[in-house]
């Protein structure tokens, strides 16, 4: 954002997909800059500690708490840059990551849940959800459970998965252009 401001940008539209969609929403919820005009979120991440724990156990056959507690102990001991090697991290088995990175990704920070940060965004937001998304499941239902917000528009694409391939990506482009050009 600082670089864009230095370049003279006056109208910025933030766009993010999946984890990047959450990070985009998180940023917008904490930085209500006048040069950010709109936000587009494509299958933004939703988060719960329970879901993370179940997913870790299913993917790697290990309890997340054990690894997270060890990583947190290193961070608490000012050794956050120490590598956990090997460690199972995100989608990678037997990789390496710093204790800080592990804690940052797996700790219970509600801001990693797009549903938590959405009410704090003041700008117009367009969200895309796919009915066949197995990564960000039931996004549309979770948004429907929120208190209504005039600045949030949800588009549910029947049959779209997490990647919004083929015609779905074209629909995203068309809807995004329409949203960008709208007066909302």
Number of folded domains that form the chain: 2
Q: Which pLDDT score is estimated for 183?
A: 83
**What does the pLDDT read at residue 37?**
97
38 with 63, same domain? no
Say how far apart CA 8 and CA 153 lie, in whole Å. Answer: 29
User: What does each of the 184 residues of the chain score in pLDDT, given as a tens digit?
Assistant: 999 999 999 999 999 999 999 999 999 999 999 999 999 999 999 999 999 999 999 999 999 999 999 999 999 999 999 999 999 999 999 999 999 999 999 999 999 999 999 999 999 999 999 999 999 999 999 999 998 899 999 999 999 999 999 999 999 999 999 999 998 7
Q: Is the peptide bond before 50 cis (omega within 30 degrees of 0)?
A: no
| Whether residues 38 and 95 fall in one domain | no
- Are both 41 and 117 inside the same structural domain? yes
Q: pLDDT, tens digit, for every residue of 48-97?
A: 999 999 999 999 999 999 999 999 999 999 999 999 999 999 999 999 99
- Are 87 and 99 contacting, i.e. CB atoms less than 8 angstroms apart? no
Task: Check whether residue 158 and residue 70 sit in a common domain.
Answer: no
Q: What sign has the CA pseudo-torsion 72, 73, 79, 83?
A: negative
pLDDT on residue 123: 97
Q: What pLDDT score does 148 carry?
A: 87
Neighbours of 117 (CB within 10 A): 21
Q: What is the CATH number of the domain that holds 153?
A: 3.40.50.1820
Terminal-residue alpha carbon distance, the chain: 22
Query: Which of these three, 69, 89, 106, is where a domain ends?
Result: 106
Look at residue 79 in the predicted model and tell me its pLDDT: 98
Q: How far apart are CA 21 and CA 133, in angstroms?
A: 15
Domain containing 150 equals 2-46+113-181
Q: Are 125 and 95 within one domain?
A: no
Q: Are residues 86 and 118 in the same domain?
A: no
End position of a domain, from candidates 106, 124, 146: 106
């Amino acid at each position: 954002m600082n670089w864009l401001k230095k370049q003279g940008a006056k109208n910025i539209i933030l766009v993010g997909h999946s984890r990047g969609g959450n990070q985009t929403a998180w940023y917008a919820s904490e930085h209500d800059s006048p040069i950010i005009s709109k936000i587009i979120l494509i299958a933004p991440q939703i988060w719960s500690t329970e879901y993370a724990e179940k997913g870790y156990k299913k993917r790697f056959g290990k309890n997340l708490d054990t690894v997270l507690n060890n990583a947190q102990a290193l961070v608490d001991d000012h050794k956050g840059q120490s590598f956990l090697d090997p460690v199972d991290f995100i989608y990678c088995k037997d990789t390496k990551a710093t204790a800080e990175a592990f804690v940052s990704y797996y700790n219970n920070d509600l801001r990693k849940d797009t549903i938590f940060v959405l009410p704090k965004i003041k700008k117009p937001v367009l969200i895309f959800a796919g009915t066949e998304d197995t990564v960000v499941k039931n996004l549309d239902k979770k948004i429907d459970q929120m208190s209504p917000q005039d600045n949030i528009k949800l588009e549910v694409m029947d049959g779209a998965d997490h990647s919004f391939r083929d015609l779905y990506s074209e629909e995203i482009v068309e809807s995004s252009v329409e949203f960008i050009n709208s007066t909302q």
